Structure 1
């Protein structure tokens, strides 16, 4: 006797319709009425679904210069009797699913049953919240590296950000001292109410899932760690069951979830829309499988990001990763190896993502034919990218980026280890030049290699022509003309190492120094002038005098020009130190620190920066005075 698989029969999502259609035919037959399967099927929809709406996708048949003539009328007539690529029948009742959303009949016709058969994210799985409607960003929000722990409490701040699934570093912080009392007072005074801006406060600091509200690339969810304030541009879902977090992360990032979201919205993924996403309550094993995939992709991206100097998890630049590279390898070989590793990891996470997609289609009960139609509607989706900062860049650009990141880290080590945070390019005040200190750091970083040979290998890379990177024939040239501009870009125009120089651009400068912004207070500026710059001025004066006595006119003129350039720099630094101002407040000749939210009495008298006010405010006097190597920083 053949055994019947009852479970398989009951699992058929179309079972109800099949039973009803056969019943209608049998009932009509008993009355002597012959009924076709198509007629019974239509009767089923009339009884169970209510009125139907038919839509016709005739756009592909309008014709054009490179195709046949307009065939829309022909395709319309052909489609009257049959569903297919042109005609889409949607039950009227299913439009309640997309009430208030853009009309998406084609998408809805493919997936409408999923909205009926599954609970929504907001009902069953998570509390979906819109975040803070922030204002006064200039006053209360900073990049993480701008501020230091002190009197103020700075909390990580999530504000949507660039497209990134599963993982993204949080580089912003918000002043939330005394639970944001200052912020609340300001918005209440200016706008009449703090509650209009401070929304979902009970969820601040809790772990969850966040995504970018406005994006043309689609829904991209990633983990939200503990201790974060979230903005309305980065709504969040807070799972009711902690063990569901990574399962939901997997589902939200799937291609099918994107299709479902397209039925609800076009490019605005606000909390209200995402809360309506249908999510199947899968078995524990399926949840565990999807959870593992999401974790694996997250871990791969997070591991790679520890080589990113501005990431919160930064440890070492990629070229120094001993878990990836061999110490004894030639530098060029290291770069080759890094390219191979990155490509391998990227291929790996794309493979996992494809498996994740397969599993999500399966748990929603999507057939292969329906999946093909869905993916045709979706089109090509953004792939998983291991190194998002270099997305779309060539292999040569990525290779050069590794070189520049290594040198940037060497400079960072020099500045952070220096006693006063002032490192001169010139040999003054009894201190070695910047380039010599960087060479020393490179020797420390490559202990198993000859330091001179390592520098030769690095310079060979710097001397290549690569789009977007200044070609440099020596380490000196890179430090003089490339580092500060690159540092400003890497630190998103909020640099913490400032290159003060007597000439801007790429012209040779008589005097230059890198200073650590976090330590460049009133006393450090005074020391820069009175010790480092004064030493250089005395040297230039002495050399000019010796050249004059020797009758070396050309040398005397060169040293005299350096002397005058350094003296001109000293005059500018003195003006900054004193906070001189002429003309209109905030004009080009106003060299005070003009913190916008402080009264004139609260602002410093001369150079006395408050780090909590941020780089943008504090660097402005130096920009106006023209003492930075790069004229425009912020």
Structure 2
């Protein structure tokens, strides 16, 4: 007996299959009811039910008269009516607009999106779960920049907190931490007392401290998914996806950063991509080959950006600034030569990850079975997307600006090493209390950082770079000028207005100051405040008095007046520091003459008496008395 093999694939691919099946079914159904129906009537009924409710949209906006382009909307409309296949119209079934409940869909997306939504399973729960995280309240009380507090890995007191952040696909360094002592006991109690229930804010707690993929819920730049570390928790501004299989983490990181996934996200929401919306996006089943390819590309881009971030001073991965990377720069290379190498390296790394990213997008479009013609429509509709870069903090900056940034980062690192190595964390700008000046210590650091170079030549090369006119960077005549007038303001900006090195000085702005010192916030307790006044500042005042006396004896009246002015300037600073040290206050609580540490969430009796800061209260609270007293040099404003 001959058996005929059926080609199921070709049968299912027949575009008229549904019609061929449904028309006789309509006839037989009507016949059972005693109604005779012709083939033509059944055909008409099929059309009305399945295809009759259609809509045509004309995309004429690109043909509007602008600048030198003539008005062509009327022409393209007529061409559409005449059936020109190249004309700008979309013919879609109205039923397809409701395939995802509550979605705001542009008509041009329906044609390619509806089949995906009908045929493919959604991201969640098919491949894992999407979750909305912690809804924060009293941010100043419970969150800090990582460097503000002492973070101990062995105890969950301050833990990494994923909460929005800057735009960056694949990788970001989470610089926020949240107070989660005793599993958030204090936070939960505050929320419960204030709002009646902690559960309104503490969402998805069972998924805290779990690896996943997270993204910014609200942004105009598109989806940017990043790795969520298992060491922390995520906020409502950073929803997360947790795959059912850990091996899917990197493949989905790749998928969720693709152009196509971004286009899909724009179809299910406008610019607010919550857990539910992203969870509804259709995703095909991954083959082993697709999974491996996507994971490899995600890892390559992630690791490249993470490696570059090791040169970022405020990153948890920081080792040394880029200009000192010995694995790519020889020790005897000049400053200018190093900057050229870094520019070339950055371009090379960006070309590499952009090439990988382009292949990733090819893989995803192929993975979804999207044709080249449809891909073009999708990409045009999505518009220009942010490029893949290794240094997100410098996006949009010119080559000259990046060059200067490298120099400033080198000097910032040198100051960091000096302050952190100091016995008491107080480094004077003057030669007082038997200590060398800050600039001399920085010069010594530079000689150690460039052991194969002449120290004087290195400083000359740095000064040459500092003297250049670059937008956004203050021109400086020398290393002293940069330390006196740039460092603190730059440091405060780099550390997101939560500086850990404070420049206390007798004069503000960029005017010359008689006395100045850098203090390490983490070590500047009540004892070191006393030492700053009793040793460093008092020694400077005595030095100024001696010089004034010598000038008076020598009959140098101008010099005597200058030294006497320094005495008075330093004494004025000492009086201001005394107000902070004693916690002096006048008038209403929190007034400009209130120099106490006013921790808002502590009762008055719990607040420190005088200068006795609690690091857990954060820089914002503890720096305020110094800002009110006007003793910080230029920067440090909140």
**Please, what is the CA RMSD of the aligned residues?**
2.6
| CA deviation string 1:565-619 (max 9, x = no partner) | 0011001011110011111111111000000011110011100000000000000
Cα distance change on mapping 1:430 and 1:62 into 2, 3 Å:
closer
State which of 417, 439, 464 in structure 2 corresponds to 1:413.
417
Q: 1:607 aligns with which of 591, 607, 611?
A: 611
Q: For residues 603 and 169 of structure 2, what CA distance do their matches in structure 1 show?
A: 43
Report the alpha carbon displacement of residue 63 of structure 1 after superposing the two structures with TM. 4.2
Deviates more, 1:623-632 or 1:567-576: 623-632
Alpha-carbon separation, structure 2, partners of 1:434 and 1:469: 22
**Is the contact made by 2:217 and 2:273 (CA closer than 8 Å) also made in structure 1?**
yes
Given that 1:160 and 1:211 are in contact with CA atoms closer than 8 Å, whether structure 2 keeps it comes out as yes
2:147 corresponds to 1:145:
yes
Matched, 1:87 2:86: no
Counterpart mapping for 1:583-622 below 5 A: 583-622=587-626
| 2:21 pairs with 1:17 | no
User: Is the Cα contact below 8 Å between 1:421 and 1:520 reproduced in 2?
Assistant: yes
Q: Which residue of 1 aligns with 2:440?
A: 436
Is the 1:593–1:618 contact (alpha carbons within 8 Å) kept by the matching residues of 2? Answer: yes
SS of 1:218 mapped into structure 2: coil
Q: Quote the offset at 1:305 in angstroms.
A: 0.3
Q: Name the counterpart of 2:398.
A: 394
Q: Can you list the C-alpha shifts for 1:271-319, whole angstroms capped at 9, x where unaligned?
A: 1100001111121011100110011000000000000000011111000
Q: TM-score, normalised by structure 1?
A: 0.93
Tell me the CA shift for residue 472 of structure 1.
Answer: 1.0
- CA positional deviation for 1:15: 0.9
The structural deviation recorded for 1:55 is 2.7
Cα distance in 1 for residues equivalent to 2:306 and 2:47 = 50
Residue by residue, what CA displacement relative to the aligned partner does 1:175-233 show, whole Å, maximum 9, x if unpaired?
Answer: 00000111111111111111100000111110000000001111111111111111110
Shift of 1:73: 8.3
Is it true that 1:291 corresponds to 2:289 in the alignment? no
Relative to 1, partners in 2 of residues 1:178 and 1:13: Cα closer, same or farther, differing over 3 Å? farther
Q: Distance in 2 between matches of 1:211 and 1:484?
A: 33
Deviation at 1:103, TM superposition (A): 3.2
Q: CA deviation at 1:50?
A: 7.3
Q: Does 1:281 align with 2:285?
A: yes
SS at match of 2:236: coil
Match of residue 449 from structure 1: 453
**Structure 1 pair 539–45 and aligned structure 2 pair: CA distance change class (3 A):** farther
Contact 2:492 2:635 in 1 (8 A): no
Consecutive unaligned residues in structure 2, runs of 5 or more: 26-37
1:115-130 correspondence to structure 2 within 5 Å: 115-130=117-132
Which among 542, 552, 556 is matched to residue 556 of structure 2? 552
Q: How far does the alpha carbon of each residue in 1:29-58 deviate from its partner, in whole angstroms, 9 at most, with x for none? A: xxxx999xxx99x99876766743333323
Tell me, which stretches of 5 or more residues in structure 1 are unaligned?
A: 28-32
SS at structure 2 position matched to 1:601: helix
Structure 2 residue 246 is the aligned partner of structure 1 residue 248 = no
100, 111, 115: which one pairs with 1:98?
100
Structure 1 residues 140 and 375: alpha-carbon distance in aligned structure 2, compared to 1, 3 A threshold? same
In the alignment, is the contact (CA less than 8 A) between 1:104 and 1:262 conserved in 2? no
Change (3 A) 1:80 1:126: farther
Q: 1:443 to 1:598 in 2, by over 3 A?
A: same
2:471 matches 1:467: yes
Alpha-carbon spacing, 1:68–1:550, altered in 2? closer, same or farther (3 Å): closer
Cα distance, 1:544 vs structure 2: 0.5
How far apart, CA to CA, are the structure 1 residues paired with 2:11 and 2:327? 50
Shift of 1:110: 2.4
Distance 1:44 1:256 in 2: 34
Q: Report if the CA contact (8 A) 2:149-2:618 is conserved.
A: yes
TM-score when scaled to structure 2?
A: 0.92
Alpha carbons 2:251, 2:292 under 8 Å: kept:
yes
Which residue of structure 1 aligns with residue 379 of structure 2? 375
Cα distance between partner residues in 1 of 2:538 and 2:311: 39
Determine if contact 1:79/1:86 at 8 Å carries over to the other structure. no
Q: Residue 156 and residue 232 in structure 1: after superposition, are their counterparts in 2 closer, same or farther (change >3 A)? A: same
Give 1:152-191 correspondences, 5 Å limit: 153-191=157-195
* Native 8 Å contact 2:221 2:386 kept in 1: yes
Displacement after TM superposition at 1:19 (Å) = 4.6
What is aligned with 1:333?
Answer: 337
